[in-house]
């Protein structure tokens, strides 16, 4: 053996044995290192110029993307490398696409050319300059979307607002908007970084199903869309099926290279769309997502609705849809003074409502949660909510109603009329209270049931009682007297009670309960406003050239409504002839003016320019109201108008001598 070990063959054999013993450890170490490299591939993130939807072509889109890029770079994520603006610009130039890219295909091409795994784009949806007591500030709404380049799907994003600091009134608007964009970018990146979307690893696979090592504890939910990646390459898209606390099943929807154990699964995030404007609280206007349908489903729905209409045509409706097309409009009733305001709430009666049993309409408002703010008679189709509303009323509380008819107690609750505040936006809703009596109840009284029951019961009772007592005192006389008296009294009492409960035969009906319809919201906000007060120029003043028209917007500034004003001219004091809009601008509660308005401009129609007196007024509204204030007259705009003043138009040169 010793001779074999010292021989060349023995030495080679010994080295092979040692290598075989060390092989498992070396393999484990190499596998661990390789697995770690695959498990955490580095992300490369690029940011393109944002779309300015309010004013395309301005520099704000570049400022927004630069701010977002800077915020991503400051985050210091070791797993993400942020590509420079020069890298993205070079890719755009090489490809010859527009900046910002107009289509998703071009956006993804830019990402591929720059070797980015994630590409960020966004929209500047709206911005406003707001006047404050200390100066002015800007507000912007920003939508940011992060796309996965391999899958072309949005995997993260945010919709945010940004507000600049309050600066002096002389500050340039661009400076304020850029300041607001920087804050919006910071808010967006912070939200994106803070959103921990669930991710997991594929454990094993079947034909079109795979199982991953994470579940509901990590944030996976049934129905969630996911992408499956192998390193930087997408291999499939899938949807989450059955979810357990620490595992989940995914079903493949689109396979590119097939799924295998070790692939990474990432959830995707749909960024909501924004509309121009801001809510009453100053937040971005998020669009409600509508579910897509198909023609066959629509046809089926229409057939079902037609059948329901037939079934409910006989008065069998539970009254769950009392109102339709609810509208709320700021309104100036001619009976109100200039220091008062109102909202007109109107609706159309739903065809399914039982027209004969409508008790009352109850109007709710978003700032009052414990009771309606006003009520209207069941036959009404409109009601005003005024700043002068006072007094009390009774109403039916249907918030805890249950059952197919949502039956509520006959008893009523005490309420008080709630006045409106000038300058405060409101959202209204309307519900209908209907009565259900025995005629409408299949288990209640019939056409003649009350009368027959009362007569039979009374006759039987009276005859029995009379016969018994009559027999005791004397058979003939007792029977006759007892039967007559008992029959008369019993018949009268029974007929009265039966008729009362019987419905058609009786003179009145007994209400079993009331039903309450669903709350139907108005189509938008309504902001009551007082009539604006005119300050200058004085009535009948002689005007020429550029003038400043000054006015007051009266109301509460606590709610920051997005107000706009219009300056209108007419040759008629009642504005019954052609109306010309001379100026329009955003305004605030308090003192405002239209500075440098040229009353000599040739843009003013000649019929107004040459009139001996030109009449002017100011209209105000919240730009977020929908549909806006109710026109006071046909042909007038949706504004709350001031009183009317006049001015003498410019005097032309004297005519040439004859």
Residue 172 lies in a domain: yes
- Specify which residues 386 forms β-bridges with: 342
**pLDDT grade, residue 191 (50/70/90)?**
confident
Residue 272 lies in a domain: no
The torsion defined by the Cα of 602, 605, 611 and 616, in degrees rounded to 10, comes to -100
Instruction: Look at residue 559 and tell me whether its pLDDT is greater than 80.
Output: yes
Pick the more confident residue, 87 or 494.
Answer: 87
Rounded distance between C-alpha atoms, residue 21 and residue 605, angstroms: 101
Count of structural domains within the chain: 6
CA distance linking residue 565 with residue 641, whole number of Å: 9
Task: Phi first, then psi: give them for residue 467, nearest 5 degrees.
Answer: -60, -45
- Co-location of 465 and 543 in the same domain: no
User: Do residues 622 and 561 touch, judged by C-beta distance below 8 A?
Assistant: yes
Tens-place pLDDT, residues 75-106: 777 778 899 999 999 999 888 888 999 888 88
Least confident of 210-224, 361-375, 540-554, 582-596: 210-224
* Torsion 467-468-473-474 (CA) sign: positive
Nearest alpha-carbon partner for 509 in 499, 518, 519:
499
* Domain shared by 50 and 184, yes or no: yes
Q: What is the largest CA-CA distance in the chain?
A: 150
Give the residue-averaged pLDDT of 59-80. 87
| Residue-level pLDDT at 12 | 73
Q: What spatial distance separates the first Cα and last Cα of the chain, rounded to whole Å?
A: 147
Point out the domain boundary residue: 153, 172, 193: 193
pLDDT in tens, 317-362: 444 567 888 999 998 877 777 788 999 999 998 765 555 688 899 9
Examine the domain organization and report whether 495 and 412 are in the same domain. no
Check residue 358 and give its pLDDT.
87
Tell whether 407 and 334 lie within a shared domain: yes
Based on the fold, state whether residues 177 and 51 are members of the same structural domain.
yes
**Exposure on the CB side of residue 567, measured as CA atoms within 13 A:** 27
| CA–CA distance, 383 with 15 (Å, rounded to integer) | 100
Within a domain: residue 527?
no
- Give the model's pLDDT for residue 77: 75
As a whole number of angstroms, the distance between CA 58 and CA 178 comes to 12
Determine if the peptide bond prior to 595 is cis (ω within 30°). no
Q: Where are the alpha helices (DSSP H) in 1-44?
A: 2-6, 8-39
Task: Say whether both 189 and 74 belong to one domain.
Answer: yes
Best-predicted range by mean pLDDT (267-276, 499-508, 640-649): 640-649
State how far the Cα of 566 lies from the Cα of 346, in Å rounded to an integer: 26
Domain that holds residue 105: 43-193
Contacts of 534 (CB under 8 A, 6+ apart): 550, 551, 552, 617, 618, 642, 643, 645
**Beta-sheet pairing, 323-331 with 342-349:** antiparallel
Instruction: Tell me if 658 is assigned to some domain.
Output: no
Q: Which of 550, 564, 544, 566 is nearest to 614 (CA)?
A: 544
Are 640 and 530 within 8 A, CB to CB?
yes
Do 616 and 578 lie in a common domain?
yes
Please give the structure tokens belonging to residue 124. 């500047």
Q: With beta carbons less than 8 A apart as the criterion, state whether 202 and 259 touch.
A: yes
Residue 31 is predicted with a pLDDT of 42
CA distance 306 to 485: 57
Bridge-partner residues for 14, per DSSP?
none
> What count of other Cβ atoms lies within 10 Å of the Cβ of residue 228?
26
Quick one: tokens of 456? 């039979």
Judged by DSSP in three states, 98 sits in coil
Query: What CATH number is attached to the domain comprising 585?
Result: 2.60.40.2060
CATH number reported for the structural domain that contains residue 219 in this entry: 2.40.10.340
Q: What is the mean pLDDT of the chain?
A: 79
Top pLDDT among 349 and 614 is at 614
Angle (deg, nearest 10), helices 104-113 and 85-95: 120
pLDDT of residue 50: 94
CA 614 to chain CA mean position, Å: 43
Rounded (to 5) percent helix, strand, coil in the chain = 25, 35, 40
Rounded CA separation 73/69 (Å): 6
Structural domain includes residue 413: yes
CATH code, domain carrying 340: 2.60.40.10
The C-alpha torsion from 629 through 631 and 636 to 641, rounded to 10°, is: -60
Residues 432-463 have pLDDT tens digits of: 988 876 555 544 444 443 444 444 444 444 44
Confidence of residue 479 (pLDDT cuts 50, 70, 90): very low
**Residue 90 and residue 128 in one domain:** yes
Q: Is residue 287 situated within a structural domain? A: no
pLDDT higher than 90, residue 577: no
Q: Is the residue at 653 inside a domain?
A: no
Instruction: Check whether 205 has a pLDDT greater than 70.
Output: yes
* Residues 29 and 85 occupy one common structural domain: no
Residue 373 CB-half CA count within 13 A: 27
* Side-chain half-sphere CA neighbours of 122 within 13 A: 35
Q: Are residues 172 and 236 in the same domain?
A: no
Pairing of strands 428-437, 511-516: antiparallel
Q: Which residue has the tokens 């220091």?
A: 339
Asked whether residue 463 is assigned to any structural domain, the reply reads: yes
pLDDT of 549 reads: 96
Q: Which CATH number fits the domain that encloses residue 102?
A: 3.40.50.10610
Q: Which 8-state DSSP code applies to residue 216? A: G
Q: Which residue has the tokens 């209640």?
A: 444
Domain check: are 545 and 492 in the same one?
Answer: no
β-strand partners of 139: 128, 163
Q: Distance between CA atoms of 445 and 498, rounded to whole angstroms?
A: 8
Same-domain status, 92 and 183: yes
């Amino acid at each position: 053996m010793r001779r074999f070990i010292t021989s060349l063959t023995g030495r080679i054999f010994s080295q092979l044995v040692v290598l075989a013993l060390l092989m498992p450890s070396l393999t484990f170490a190499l596998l661990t290192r390789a697995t770690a490299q695959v498990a955490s591939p580095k992300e490369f993130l690029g940011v393109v110029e944002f779309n300015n939807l309010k004013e395309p072509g301005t520099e704000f889109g570049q400022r927004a993307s630069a701010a977002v890029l800077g915020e991503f770079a400051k985050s210091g994520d070791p797993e993400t490398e942020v590509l420079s603006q020069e890298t993205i610009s070079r890719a755009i130039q090489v490809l010859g696409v527009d900046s910002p890219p107009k289509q998703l295909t071009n956006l993804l091409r830019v990402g591929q050319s720059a070797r980015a795994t994630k590409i960020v784009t966004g929209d500047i949806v709206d911005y406003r300059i707001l006047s404050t007591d200390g100066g002015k500030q800007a507000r912007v709404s920003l939508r940011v979307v992060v796309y996965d380049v391999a899958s072309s799907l949005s995997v993260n994003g945010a919709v945010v607002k940004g507000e600049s600091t309050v600066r002096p009134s002389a500050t340039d608007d661009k400076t304020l908007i850029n300041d607001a964009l920087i804050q919006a970018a910071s808010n967006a990146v912070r939200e994106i970084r803070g959103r921990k979307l669930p991710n997991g690893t594929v454990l094993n696979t079947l034909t079109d199903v795979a199982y991953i090592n994470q579940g509901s504890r990590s944030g996976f939910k049934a129905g969630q869309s996911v992408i499956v990646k192998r390193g930087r390459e997408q291999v499939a898209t899938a949807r989450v099926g059955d979810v357990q606390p620490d595992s989940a099943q995914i079903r493949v929807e689109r396979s590119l290279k097939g799924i295998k154990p070790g692939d990474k699964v990432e959830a995707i995030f749909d960024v909501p769309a924004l509309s121009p404007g801001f809510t009453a609280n100053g937040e971005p206007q998020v669009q409600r997502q509508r579910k897509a349908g198909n023609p066959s489903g629509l046809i089926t729905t229409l057939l079902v609705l037609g059948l329901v209409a037939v079934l409910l045509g006989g008065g069998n409706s539970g009254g769950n849809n009392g109102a339709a097309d609810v509208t709320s409009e700021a309104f100036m009733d001619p009976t109100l003074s200039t220091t008062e305001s109102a909202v007109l709430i109107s609706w159309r009666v739903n065809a399914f409502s039982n027209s004969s049993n409508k008790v009352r309409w109850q109007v709710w408002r978003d700032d009052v949660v414990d009771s309606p703010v006003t009520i209207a008679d069941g036959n009404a189709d409109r009601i005003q909510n005024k700043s002068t509303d006072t007094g009390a009323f009774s109403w039916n509380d249907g918030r805890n109603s249950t059952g197919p008819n949502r039956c509520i107690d006959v008893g009523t609750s005490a309420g008080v009329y709630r006045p409106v505040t000038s300058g405060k936006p409101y959202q209204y809703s309307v519900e209908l209270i209907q009565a259900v009596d025995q005629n409408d109840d299949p288990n209640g009284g019939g056409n003649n049931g009350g009368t027959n029951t009362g007569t039979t019961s009374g006759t039987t009772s009276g005859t029995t009682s009379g016969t018994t007592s009559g027999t005791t005192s004397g058979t003939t006389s007792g029977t006759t007297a007892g039967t007559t008296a008992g029959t008369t009294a019993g018949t009268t009492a029974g007929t009265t009670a039966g008729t009362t409960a019987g419905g058609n035969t009786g003179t009145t009906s007994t209400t079993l309960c009331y039903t309450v319809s669903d709350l139907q919201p108005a189509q938008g906000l309504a902001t009551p406003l007082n009539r604006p007060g005119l300050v200058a120029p004085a009535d009948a003043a002689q005007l020429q050239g550029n003038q400043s028209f000054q006015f007051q917007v009266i109301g509460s500034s606590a709610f920051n409504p997005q107000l706009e004003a219009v300056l209108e001219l007419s040759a008629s004091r009642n504005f019954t002839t052609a109306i010309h809009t001379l100026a329009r601008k955003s305004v605030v509660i308090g003192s405002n003016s239209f500075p440098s308005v040229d009353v000599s401009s040739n843009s003013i129609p000649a019929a107004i320019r040459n009139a001996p007196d030109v009449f002017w007024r100011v209209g105000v509204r919240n730009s977020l109201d929908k549909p806006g204030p109710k026109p006071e007259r046909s042909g007038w705009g949706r504004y709350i108008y001031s009183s009317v003043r006049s001015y003498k138009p410019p005097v032309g040169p004297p005519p040439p001598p004859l």
